[in-house]
Structure 1
């Protein structure tokens, strides 16, 4: 929306307790938006984020979503099943509820996208129009989400999708950085790396993703009704640049790097849903990948980008990995 009317600056955020949902919600408030947030325990959620207008309800309940979305101009769909559980039965119904609420209120939908809906045939340079032939069940669901949003756009609903690489950042819990490279809440004595040296990997700093989304929302009236953009984020060109950033930030240039225990993930995956999903995503660490952001640059002129050492330092502090040792140097 190039020039938003004040009464249109009301947003409903689904998934506001999560990393990206919370970051977008806080950013919208800073820009003068009124933010509502839906939660099954609104009272508890309000204790941690009192600035949001919490509504009691469940994203799986169509009437709850419809009531919370009454009069909003934007719905941020950032809700996901906890711990990768029950994706097959929960993800699409929740999205359908968002689409129905957007249609009823003339609201735009903003979706944090991923690269999971792409398979190896779209690598190594991933563009917005690359074929979507996912290798995993989760990828198939992500593909179907975008197909449903595309159909909604053809029925008059504005849609913005921002796809990015692996998230890291403050408040981002279920991701490769916090579950693979380091151990939250513990001193950093070694780095576990899932990929191969020499294989490029695509990362995205969560605050930069949120800022990109909000800048696009501000320009939404000039965008296509179904608008999809890729972020370049932080491209680890050789599989060691993220490792080196962590070493610099903690002041340990010789901090050891261990191979990620894929064998253990394989053994535990039948019993731990998160591990099962991580194992399926192994191809993202074995195949080089970079995302082209040319379309995004055409719209914004630049991509929000926090210097990598600053981003890593903020992330490690938020995870409680090294406390006072972290020096968030700008680089």
Structure 2
């Protein structure tokens, strides 16, 4: 790969990694994706595929040769064993970036903060996690900060994902059932103030930031504002408008997650992040606007329609028909 505009994407088979890889390719980057099994990926996407495991430093070092950017969008398989896998993987990425002179790029999370005490997240907001996963994410970002300026890095933090490709998301796993007509909506929000990120807009933002590396600090934290659902119903209302009917809405069974937390992994993970859905948390994108100008923003109904089409929940009919149906 040519170093000046060459990127290695770890986690390129996932929603965030795949979307960022596609955005970089559109912006003229040479993109290489690493996956544990590339047998079925050789002709998938506008990228070169190499086989490797993010837990194996030699694999990451080899895949990073010639890269100017390493996108660290990899998570433990099935989101298990965070305490054993997350930090070793970022250590391998940092080592590879140091060896080739690349910038590490990380999608940031909300888990680093206590939602009850952090209504607005800025670049310098103190990180005060309340759960195990948040503490690990704080340690991960500290690794990057300590490696600078020798290893430069960019963290772009956003809320919950929705959009084409965002399958491991609260939207696709809780609110709407993939592959089925929308007959009901499960709303996890317990009030207003939840932040959402439309994945194509977030991926485009990554590409815009990396197009102007000279503007970035050696260690840069940037916040993606996305959609701030001030009422707790804006996403629900958008689903209804796009579907053209008043779909019934049910609350998410948070009480059941608390009861089942000792016995199963999903309820345990859900119970840990429940405060994110209870307390308002907004992302201040002042620094992002300084760097790229206005944040990419697809109109909500257009974004929701693309999301539901890709999930197989509605047909890809012309938008005017949907508007007439919802009138």
TM-score by length of 2: 0.94
Q: CA deviation at 1:264?
A: 3.0
Judging changes above 3 Å, is the alpha-carbon distance between structure 1 residues 65 and 7 closer, same or farther for their aligned structure 2 residues? closer
2:18 corresponds to which of 15, 22, 32: 22
Deviation at 1:50, TM superposition (A): 4.7
Distance across 2 between alignment mates of 1:56 and 1:191: 39
Q: Is residue 194–residue 260 contact of structure 1 (8 Å, CA) maintained in 2?
A: yes
From 239, 244, 249, the equivalent of 2:242 is 249
1:193–1:257 Cα contact (<8 Å) kept: yes
What is the rounded CA distance, in whole Å, between the counterparts of 2:229 and 2:282 in structure 1?
A: 9
Three-state SS of the structure 2 residue aligned to 1:111 is: strand
- Segments of structure 2 that go 5 or more residues without pairing to the other structure are none
What secondary structure does 1:120 align onto? coil
273-282 or 165-174, larger mean C-alpha shift: 273-282
Name the CA distance, whole Å, in 2 between partners of 1:326 and 1:264.
Answer: 40
The alpha-carbon deviation at position 268 of structure 1 amounts to 3.7
The reply to whether residue 41 of structure 1 matches residue 37 of structure 2 is: yes
CA–CA separation in structure 2 for the residues paired with 1:258 and 1:94: 38
Partner of residue 305 from structure 1, selected from 297, 301, 311: 297
Q: How far 1:122 moved relative to its partner?
A: 4.2
Instruction: Give the drift of 1:243.
Output: 0.7
Q: 1:268, 1:45 → 2: CA distance? A: 37
Shift of 1:32: 1.7
Cα offsets for 1:126-161 (capped at 9, x unmatched): 21211111011110011011100001113x111111
CA gap of 1:7–1:105, structure 2 versus 1, over 3 A, is: closer
Q: Distance in 1 between matches of 2:238 and 2:248?
A: 13
CA RMSD, 1 decimal:
1.9
User: What per-residue deviation string (whole Å, max 9, x for no partner) do you get for residues 275-310 of structure 1?
Assistant: 321121110111012111111111111101111011
The 8 Å contact of residues 111 and 162 in structure 1, kept in 2 or not, is answered as yes
Q: Residues 185-236 of structure 1, C-alpha deviation per residue, up to 9 Å, x if partnerless?
A: 1211111011224x21100001111111111111111211001110110111
1:281-300 aligned within 5 A:
281-300=273-292
CA, structure 1 residues 247+53, in 2 after alignment: closer, same or farther (shift >3 Å)? same
SS in 2 for 1:160: strand
**Structure 1 unmatched ranges of 5 or more:** none
Residues of 1 paired with 2:234 and 2:26: CA distance?
Answer: 33
Normalised to the residue count of structure 1, the TM-score between the two structures is: 0.93
Match of 1:195 in 2: 189
127, 133, 149: which is aligned to 1:132? 127
State the number of aligned residues: 322
Contact 2:2 2:66 survives alignment (8 Å): no
Equivalent runs, 1:230-269 vs 2, <5 Å: 230-252=223-245, 254-269=246-261
Q: Secondary structure at the match of 1:45?
A: coil
The residue number in structure 1 matching 2:96 is 101
How many Å separate the matches in 2 of 1:248 and 1:76? 36
Answering whether residue 120 of structure 2 is matched by residue 120 of structure 1, we say: no
Greater mean deviation of Cα atoms: 319-328 or 95-104: 319-328
Map of 1:70 onto structure 2:
65
Q: Give distance in 2, aligned partners of 1:268 and 1:121.
A: 23
Look up the match of 2:306: 314
CA displacement 1:93-129 (0-9 Å, x = unmatched): 1100000000000001111111110113542122121
Q: 1:212 aligns with which of 198, 205, 214?
A: 205
Are the counterparts in 2 of residues 75 and 107 from structure 1 also a CA contact under 8 Å? yes
Counterpart Cα distance in 2 of 1:231 and 1:122? 19
